Amino acid sequence: MPVTAPAQPAATTAALKLRESVSQLSEDALGRFREAVRGFMARSDNRGYQFYAGWHGVPLGLCQHHNAVFLPWHRGYLYHFELALQDIDSDVTLPWWDWVDEAGIPDAYSKRTAGGRRANVLHDAPIKPFGVQPRRGWPTRTSRRPGGDPSSGQHPIGPPIRQYWDWIMEPSSFDEFNRRITFVHDNLHGWVGGTMGDPNWAAFDPLFWAHHTMVDRVWRIWQHNNPGAMANYPFLDRAMTYAKAPSFKVREVLKVSQLGYEYAAQSASVPGTV
Binding site residues, another protein, CB under 8 A: 57-58, 61-67, 135, 137-138, 148-149, 152-157, 179, 183, 185-187, 189-191, 193, 197-200
Closest separation in Å from C-beta 201 to another protein: 8
Report the residue number, 143 or 258, with the smaller CB distance to another protein.
143
Report the residue number, 48 or 190, with the smaller CB distance to another protein.
190
Report the residue number, 88 or 184, with the smaller CB distance to another protein.
184
Residue 6 dihedral angles phi and psi, to the nearest 5°: -65, 130
Q: How many CB atoms lie within 10 A of CB 201?
A: 24
Q: Give the 3-state secondary structure of 21-35.
A: EHHHCCHHHHHHHHH
Q: Give the 3-state secondary structure of 185-196.
A: HHHHHHHHCHHH
Report the residue number, 87 or 198, with the smaller CB distance to another protein.
198
Closest separation in Å from C-beta 138 to another protein: 7
In sequence order, the 6+-apart residues with CB closer than 8 A to the CB of 12 are 6
Closest separation in Å from C-beta 61 to another protein: 5
Closest separation in Å from C-beta 37 to another protein: 24
Report the residue number, 26 or 152, with the smaller CB distance to another protein.
152
Closest separation in Å from C-beta 119 to another protein: 26
